[in-house]
């Protein structure tokens, strides 16, 4: 079973590291600040190699809800708060 240990995290320059895959990072288009294009900030390609990473710079302040597409049903989701 997979678990995210942190539901909400406050960071400026996020980096998501893969420990065991496949995983990806998809932002919910209905749960990001107005005007943010989820196509530009999501990592749809699945990461399968250990330590493979995804880095994204967030320029708009607000709450961003995200999930791992393959494991969303297992509760692998969270929220990013950009201040």
Q: Could you tell me which residue, 19 or 52, shows the higher pLDDT?
A: 52
Q: Could you tell me which residue, 32 or 12, shows the higher pLDDT?
A: 32
Find the catalytic residue in 1, 3, 47, 71.
71
Instruction: Give the per-residue pLDDT at 47.
Output: 81
Find the catalytic residue in 23, 47, 56, 79.
23
Q: Could you tell me which residue, 64 or 10, shows the higher pLDDT?
A: 64
Percent of the chain with pLDDT over 90: 31
| The pTM of the whole model exceeds 0.95 | no
Known active-site residue 68: yes
> Measured between alpha carbons, how far is 40 from 19 in angstroms, rounded to an integer?
24
**Tokens 């990072």 — which residue?**
25
Known active-site residue 76: yes
Torsions phi, psi for 32 (to 5 deg)? -135, 165
Instruction: Give the per-residue pLDDT at 49.
Output: 77
């Amino acid at each position: 079973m997979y678990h995210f240990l942190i539901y909400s995290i406050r960071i400026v320059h996020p980096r998501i590291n893969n420990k065991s895959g496949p995983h990806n990072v998809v932002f919910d288009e209905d749960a990001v600040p107005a005007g943010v294009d989820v196509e530009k900030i999501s990592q749809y390609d699945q990461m399968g190699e250990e330590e493979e990473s995804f880095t994204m710079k967030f320029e708009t302040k607000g709450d961003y809800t995200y999930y791992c597409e393959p494991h969303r049903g297992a509760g692998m989701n969270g929220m990013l708060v950009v201040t």
